[in-house]
Amino acid sequence: MSPEYSPTAPRSAVSPNDLRPAALDDVDQILVDALRRDARMPNNALAALAGIAPSTALGRVRSLIERGVIRGFHADIDPRALGRGLEALISVRLQAHARKHEAFTRRIAKLQEVVDIYFIAGANDYLLHIAVLDAHSLRDFVIEHLGADPEVAGTETTLIFEHLRPRP
């Protein structure tokens, strides 16, 4: 008998050189969902939730990490507790001839103030989400780390009044 297509098995990747992690089955979905809500949920409880043995849950979670589906487990910390009560978004446009995007990214990524780096389409090249102590620190950040860089053609800073993360 020739091999045949199984409709219940996960499909292979859609495009040829696709780095997408393999599709998640129902159990994986439950585990991922639970860990997204509470990364410290015991393996025990995960197993019970998913209706599998603890050892199986352990293997599943390890596989999810291995496959890159779970990229990490992190505590969400109130920036105010870290003395970073002021958050801002900074649009950054690099010089047209600038081809040192990677170097810029690496340099910016090292700065303590930087929370997110979005590499974006459109007139600007980056949107930086930063968290600092106060307005003075914000100015210092822009002047010292962006204004001083000859590759940076321009910046635009916008204050964040409130930041919500609805999912977790």
Residues forming contacts to DNA in the complex (CB under 7 A) are: 27, 42-45, 51-56, 58-60
CB 47 within 8 Å of CB 53: yes
Applying CB under 8 A, the span of 1-9, 52-60, 113-121, 140-148 interacting with a copy of itself comes to 113-121
In the chain, what is the straight-line distance between the N-terminal and C-terminal CA atoms, in Å? 48
- 157: how many CB neighbours lie within 10 A of its CB? 16
Binding site partner of 80, from DNA, a copy of itself, none, Cβ cut-off 5-8 A by kind: a copy of itself
Select 45 or 114, whichever has its Cβ closest to DNA.
45
Helices 54-66 & 43-50 angle (0-180, nearest 10) = 100
Q: Exactly one of 59, 116, 135, 139 binds a copy of itself (CB under 8 A); which one?
A: 116
Select 38 or 134, whichever has its Cβ closest to DNA.
38
Three-state secondary structure call for residue 13: coil
